[in-house]
Structure 1
Amino acid sequence: MCDHCGCREVTPIQRLMAEHERLLDMAGEIRDALRVGDSAIARGIFGDLAALLMPHVRAEERGLFAVMRERGEFIDHIDTLESEHGELAARLAATLDDEAILQICDQLRAHIYAENFGLFPAALASLGGDDWADIEEREGRTTAGTGEVGQPVG
């Protein structure tokens, strides 16, 4: 992930990016397992990925997305990202074969790229100090309640 814009110095984005890294690592592990024909391992990791992804999505939408929307910042981009969240949630709820799991991993990778290299730097440029505290409060998770960085929260 990038380190050039300073996003990682802001706690909410730092946490979201750490979760993104974990999700991407898991997607890679899924691909590796399927490549060697171990569907059972891939499905187990995929279950863990879903368990991390959905609380992560809720935190993004309640926190960063909501604050940016209220301030009139990048509404079209946020609408697109929220729509993608809905698509991912619907796909996760379906019965999936191995190819569908790989497609979700690809979709997730593209989505994370759009957030990490689009929305997060834009948020850093457009939001101020009080906004970050507001985002953390709205996410509904505290430092004590998040567990290890990149682990499921809820």
Structure 2
Amino acid sequence: MLRLLNAGLVALLLATSGMPVMAVQPDEVLADPVLENRARELSKDLRCVVCQNESIDESNAALARELRLVVRERLVAGDSDVEVMNYLVERYGEFVLLNPRTGGWNIILWLSGPVLFLIALVVGIFYIRGRSTAAAPTEATLSEAENARLKEILDTE
């Protein structure tokens, strides 16, 4: 019976270990489930500026809590999802977005990876082609005098 209980606890631990932990406090949750769902979806796309690689929905930082409250306040005030995002971008910059926009100067960042990959691919192709067409190095052979001297050395030992 104890083994079964231990196996059940281990299974429960493994099942819940992969689930994301949300940092939303009970006092932050909106009464309207539709607005709360919108707030959660928006919070997943906003970066905690303290933690930097966590969304504000997952972060326990004080600033993340403030951002969650701002999102909820804006939604209760009647703002659309786009208006809430624009408000936060105006206030904190595009860094607050987990997935930055692809327009404006950001297009350079989005295109630099594929462009650099293509440059590396072309350089690699030219390098491999150059190696395949290069003349093979010739081996220098020993002269008759060197062969005789080598044979003399090997025979004396």
Give the TM-score band, short-chain normalised.
under 0.3
TM-score (norm 2): 0.24
TM-score (norm 1): 0.24
Bigger-Rg structure (1/2): 2
Name the one with the larger helix percent.
1
Structure with larger RCO (C-alpha < 8 A, sep 6+)? 1
